[in-house]
């Protein structure tokens, strides 16, 4: 499709034009070291940091999500629905890893039976991705076939310091570009190609550039019984940090909370790394930290690919590498399993 151009100095005008029609979320600095997606307001500047603290999956699978409210009056129970998933919104500045994570989550929540709240949020969203001008040393999205220079989404964007370039990829992307067309001019494909080439040069030099996952789909039982899990899990403290920053983790719990005369039902993130995860009357099926540790990485590297034509449930964003307090992460697991293979 066509490339459009906007002077970088006019970026706030673009944000204002988008926000005039629908809610706009973009990554902004929340501290000296961290950035997060926030609802845009006049004066907000898009962060120059590589990635947000938590991923953009919150927009479709929030950490805490109301499901229903119940009010009992005598023998009558009233069900109240106060969901707001039908609002149109734009996510601006999602990186390629987060864009791929939406595809991973789609295969979970849009499979029968469809999660209608997730589905509605996806239908009402427009994703504007942003190429990674300076990928970090903990990035390894290329291991899973993701191109940080061509991030995808409904509109993909690049900037070279002077200009912002946008390319619509879907009907929703074309609609968004049409709504702000008065701010845009025809873009230069050659300028975009130069940005892409620079990013590819950086990607080739990253410490994890040569990392490739083993195809373990026909070695499920072997991998499950590998003695490597004892060593790999031995220092894990089960804090769950890796799961809460991960763009593709899908574990959740459903709780009922009594609030006066009402009962509120909500869904909240959970973690397979917790010792009470999937707790039943008879106990938990995974009694040791080794079993819980193994479950997390078997799902990422074996179970999910088996069910989804080889697609991995990891997008190489590097968040778990940065946040694990004992430096035990999926990269070390992949390398250990590769050595064994």
**pLDDT for position 339:** 80
pLDDT at 333: 94
Nearest to 312 by CA among 323, 298, 333: 298
Contact between 311 and 302 under an 8 Å Cβ cutoff? The reply is: no
- Coil, strand or helix at 99: helix
Query: In the beta sheet, which residues pair with residue 39?
Result: 25
Question: How many residues are given for the chain?
Answer: 341
Give the pLDDT confidence score for residue 36 in this predicted structure: 96
pLDDT value of residue 84 = 66
CB-based contact 51:317 (threshold 8 Å): yes
Mean pLDDT of residues grouped by 10 in the chain (341 residues)? 93 96 96 94 92 94 90 81 80 97 97 93 97 94 96 96 95 97 94 96 94 93 94 90 94 87 89 81 78 94 96 96 90 89 66
> How high is the pLDDT of residue 169?
98
For residue 249, the 8-state DSSP code is: -
CA 268 vs CA 64, 111, 249: distances in Å: 4, 20, 12
- pLDDT reported for residue 340: 73
The predicted pLDDT at position 335 comes to: 93
Residue 137: phi and psi, rounded to 5, are -70, -20
């Amino acid at each position: 499709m066509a490339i459009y151009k906007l002077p970088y100095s006019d970026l706030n005008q673009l944000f204002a034009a988008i926000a005039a029609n629908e809610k706009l979320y973009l990554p902004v600095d929340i501290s000296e070291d961290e950035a997060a997606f926030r609802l845009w307001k006049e004066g907000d500047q898009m962060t120059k940091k590589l990635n947000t603290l938590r991923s953009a999956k919150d927009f479709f699978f929030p950490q805490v999500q109301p499901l229903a409210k119940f009010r009992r009056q005598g023998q009558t129970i009233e069900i109240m629905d106060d969901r707001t998933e039908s609002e149109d919104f734009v996510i601006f500045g999602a990186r390629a890893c987060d864009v791929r994570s939406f595809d991973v989550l789609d295969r979970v929540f849009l499979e029968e039976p469809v999660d209608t709240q997730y589905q509605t949020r996806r239908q009402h969203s427009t994703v504007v991705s942003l190429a990674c001008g300076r990928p970090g040393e903990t990035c390894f999205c290329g291991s899973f076939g993701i191109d940080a220079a061509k991030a995808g989404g409904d509109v993909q964007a690049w900037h070279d310091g002077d200009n912002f370039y946008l390319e619509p990829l879907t009907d929703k992307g074309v609609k968004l570009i049409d709504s702000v067309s008065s701010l845009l001019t025809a873009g230069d494909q050659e300028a975009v190609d130069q940005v892409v080439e620079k990013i590819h040069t950086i990607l080739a030099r990253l410490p994890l550039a040569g990392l490739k996952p083993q195809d373990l789909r026909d070695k499920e039982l072997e991998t499950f019984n590998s003695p490597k899990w004892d060593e790999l899990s031995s220092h894990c403290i089960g804090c769950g940090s890796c799961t809460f920053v991960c763009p593709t983790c899908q574990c959740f719990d459903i709780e009922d909370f009594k609030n006066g005369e009402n009962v509120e039902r909500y869904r909240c993130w959970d973690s397979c790394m917790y010792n009470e995860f999937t707790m039943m009357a008879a106990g938990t099926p995974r009694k040791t930290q080794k079993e819980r540790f193994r479950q997390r990485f078997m799902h990422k590297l074996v179970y999910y690919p088996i069910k989804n034509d080889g697609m991995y449930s990891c997008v190489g964003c590097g968040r778990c590498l940065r946040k694990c307090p004992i430096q035990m992460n999926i990269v070390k697991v992949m390398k250990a399993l590769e050595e064994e293979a």
